[in-house]
Amino acid sequence: QVQVLESGGGLVQAGGSLRLSCAASGSINNINAMGWYRQALGNQRELVAEISPDTSTTYADSVKGRFTISGDNAKNTVYLQMNSLKPEDTAVYYCRIVVLRTTRPPYYVWGQGTQVTVSS
């Protein structure tokens, strides 16, 4: 089993910065990609950023140039540095880990979510 623990959300003014952290524990040998999703009130959950084991990254168009995802393999942690925050970035942010299995498809482990609120 893999567990994830998120931290770093909060309230910030527009133009400010926050850094989210997601630490994985448990059966971490089979972790594949790690990423962040967000869900604003009334909206569907959407990808924000993801990082693969080869350190390649994917970003939503809306955050490119403002957000940076990075990983620390030694700590089994992924970070999301969010700069130049906008009110439309307000959402609950969820960490998602892809766990590989040898004979079955991979499965996803989600964090509990952390609230990010950006005031105008």
Q: How confident is the model at residue 2 (pLDDT cuts 50, 70, 90)?
A: confident
Report pLDDT digits (tens) over 42-101.
999 999 999 998 999 999 999 999 999 999 888 889 999 999 999 999 999 999 999 888
Alpha helices for 29-69 (secondary structure H) = none
Average per-residue pLDDT in the chain? Answer: 94
Q: Is 41 exposed, middle or buried (0-12, 13-18, 19+ CB in 10 A)?
A: exposed
Q: What pLDDT is stored for residue 69 in this prediction? A: 98
Give the Cα separation of 20 and 12 in Å (integer).
13
Place of tokens 């952290």: 21
Q: What pLDDT is stored for residue 27 in this prediction? A: 73
Q: What pLDDT is stored for residue 114 in this prediction? A: 96
Q: What pLDDT is stored for residue 59 in this prediction? A: 98
Q: How many CA atoms lie within 13 A of 76 on its CB side?
A: 18
